[in-house]
Each structure stands twice: as C-alpha cells, then as structure tokens.
Amino acid sequence: MLAIPLTQENALTQGPTAASCLPGVGQIDRLLAVRALSVELCAGLEPEDLVAQSMPDASPLKWHLAHTTWFFETFVLRPHLPGYEVFHPGFAELFNSYYVGAGPRYLRAARGLLTRPPLRTVLRYREHVEEALRRLFEPSGVRDPALLDLVELGLHHEQQHQELMLTDLLHLFSLHPLQPAWRQLPALPRRGLRPLAWVEHPGGPDTLGYQGEGFHFDHEAPRHTVWLQAHALADRAVCNAEFSEFVRDGGYRNPLLWLSDGWAAVQREQWRAPMYWSEDGQSQFTLGGECDIDPAAPACHLSYFEADAFARWAGCRLPTEAEWEARARGQAIEGNLLDSGLFRPAPVADGLQCFGDVWEWCASAFLAYPGFKPASGAVGEYNGKFMSGQMVLRGGSCATPRAHLRPSYRNFFYPHQRWQFMGLRLAKDLE
C-alpha cells in the first residue's frame, strides 16, 4: 500500500479564505496543504487502485494527481518562473484535460491505459512542481495580482479534483465483486426522520451572483438583478425514506413523471432506484463498503431526471438557482462537508440546512450570466465552453472542502449523470 501519512485534519483546517493569505508566503503554505490532501486521500490504497478507469466520465486517481500538477506547471510555473525546467515534456499531452489552447490531449476515455508513468514518478512530478512553487513565492511572496489569481484558481481547481477523486474511486470500487472499502468510515449521527418544513419567500427583485473581494469562479459573475416569484423552499434535502416511497409507488415505471430524455435514460439504463442502492432498497454501496441505508439521510446519487421526476411526483418542483441562492445568502457554510470526515450523506440536524451532504439539482440550465466574458487564453476554457446542455447544482456535498464553497458557487453536470454526490431540495410556488 502507499506509504502516505494520513494528516487530513492538518490539511483541512486552513485559513478561512484565500484573500486572508494574499499576498505573501502564507498562501504557499495553504496551497501546499491543499496539495498534500490530494495525496493523503490515496492513503491505504494499492497502486493498482489508482490506475483503473471505471467509465469515460471518471478518471484514474493517478491521473487526477498528475493533472492537478500539470495545471500549476502549465499556467503558473512555465510562464512566470524564470528558468523553470519542465519535469517531462510528454506530460503536457498526457495530463491535459480539455484545454485545447494548451496543446494536444490524450483521449479521455483511455486514461486507464496509462500504466506509465508509474505512480512513483507522478509523486516525484508533484514534488518537483511544489518545490518550484516554493521558489516562486520566496523570499517575500508574490505581488502580481494576475499571478496570484492563477495560483488561487489552481488551488480551487485542485479542490474540485479532490471531490472527483472520491466519487471516481467510489464508482470504481462499486463495480468490484468483492465490494472493497476505501477505508473504515465513522458511524453516522443517530437522528430520527425530521419532518420537512417550508421556508417562504415573498418574491420580488433580487440579485444573483458573487459580490465581494475574495475568490470566485468566472461563471459566478457578473452580479445581476433577477425577479423571483413568491415561492417556498424545503428546509432540507429529500431524504432516503421519502425517495423510497417514490420507488415503491412505481416512480421508475410511470412515464408521466419523467421528461422525455429522462424516460429514455430510465429505459436504456434500466434505472430502478438511486445509483448504488441494493435491489431490495435496504443497503447502498459507499466509500466504506456496503452499508444499511439510513432513512433520515439525504437521498444521493440521483440524476437531474430522477430529481425532477421525484419533485413532480411529490406535487412540487425543483428550485431555480436564483431561489436557492437567495435562501442560502447569509447562511453560515456549515454542514456535512469533506471536513466532517463522514464521506457520505448524514441525517440532518434541526434548522435550515443549505450546505453539505449532497449537491442539489436546480431547475436552471448552466448558462452565462448577463455580461459574462471568459478570460483570454486557455484558462478561459475553464468554464465558459461548457455552457451547453448542463444543469446547475448548488450547496456542496460530503466530499466538498468547506473552504471551497460560497453561496454563489455554481456546479454543473449533464442531466443524466449521477455518480457524484447529487440530491435534491423541493420547491413550490405560492399563490
């Protein structure tokens, strides 16, 4: 197994925002702590676990470790550190993901064939780049705002891949007949099923998008005015007990509940329950192996189509992202996130729950806000090129680092995808 010390707590308890660390050496300490977590998430795994690719949407963990390193080498070190020596010229193609402007890319669906370079070389690659990042920040830190923005983007890019590492590994292990566990997970809090309550909003003009001085992704801006109809949002995500009723009531057999593309996916993929549920609906596969389904925990690994069908079955709808953000604004970013160490959705405590456990599908397509302009060059491909055919999710999950989130954060996936920690919150119109 990998000889990697597990010091997750140290890596997860860094400063509250990147802005508090800029400029200066403090940022490099935080950056390296985030980088260390990516490797620590592989602790206890065998090298073979990091090479396999379970489907085209997923990537091997070794590739994630290398790609996040390639990002810093390509966009930060090569243009901005005089005398920087590229670790290996062939890595530019192997570990580029979708940045056409950065050069050729290895076929995404074939990343599992990259048995070379071996894991030990990828780890040396990470060390090489991290040593260069130290040189970039020494002796007195970085003062160039544009360069600091690139470093900060690379940090949050790495945090995105940390969640992908866990969800990709979960999918890989779920296909293994022996149902291996990533590691033994702590017990979930023991809480009863909390009745769903509604939080009403009178409607009217509101604003959508990021406002402030700290980091945000380009697609969270510009801030702009929206009009909200009077509505109510559930105070928590839909739980397993509620989704089980949908399954037992024949929700997956009733075409009248589904969007056309969703019903086609149900027939094509033979969906009968959320991803990773057992046939009898009593257990589910998790990063800790097979475990009993907790009725009070949020339902998870749902596609947009499933979330939309459930909402229609319940006589409700999905919230728009403007409705979701209006409710979350001003709420503390607290909940069952990566920092909690549970690594699966947990029963929700009393009170309004906005963040953590599961990403919540919204009835909003992932499109540009009015006035949006992507950055120039290859970095501008980060988000803007994906504004077609995808739906927005909000709120973070049990695999999202707390420091990575904001009320304005917009995640996005295709409506048929469900291997991420995806769930839903109900909304309804008020007359």
DSSP letters spanning 170-229: HHHHHTSTT---SSPPPPPP--PPPPP-EEEE--EEEEES--SSS---GGG-S-EEEEE-
Buried b (16+ CB within 10 A) or exposed e, 256-269: ebbeeebbebbeee
CA neighbor of 421 nearest in space, from 336, 363, 352, 331: 336
Per-position pLDDT tens, the chain of length 431 = 454 333 333 333 222 233 333 344 477 899 999 999 999 999 999 999 999 999 999 999 999 999 999 999 999 999 999 999 999 999 999 999 989 888 999 999 999 999 999 999 999 999 999 999 999 998 777 778 889 989 999 999 999 999 999 999 999 999 999 999 999 999 999 998 989 999 999 999 999 999 888 899 999 999 999 999 999 999 999 999 999 999 999 999 999 999 999 999 999 999 999 999 999 999 999 999 999 999 999 999 999 999 999 999 999 999 999 999 999 998 999 999 999 999 999 998 887 889 999 999 999 999 999 999 887 776 776 778 888 999 999 999 999 999 999 999 999 999 999 999 999 999 999 98
Q: Would you say 275 and 252 are in contact if contact means Cβ atoms under 8 Å apart?
A: no
CATH architecture of 198-429: Alpha-Beta Complex (3.90)
Residues 6+ apart with CB under 8 A from 232: 198, 199, 200, 201, 427, 428, 430
Where in the chain are the domains?
A: 8-174, 198-429
In CATH terms, the fold of domain 8-174 is Four Helix Bundle (Hemerythrin (Met), subunit A) (1.20.120)
Considering the entire predicted model, what is its pTM?
A: 0.93
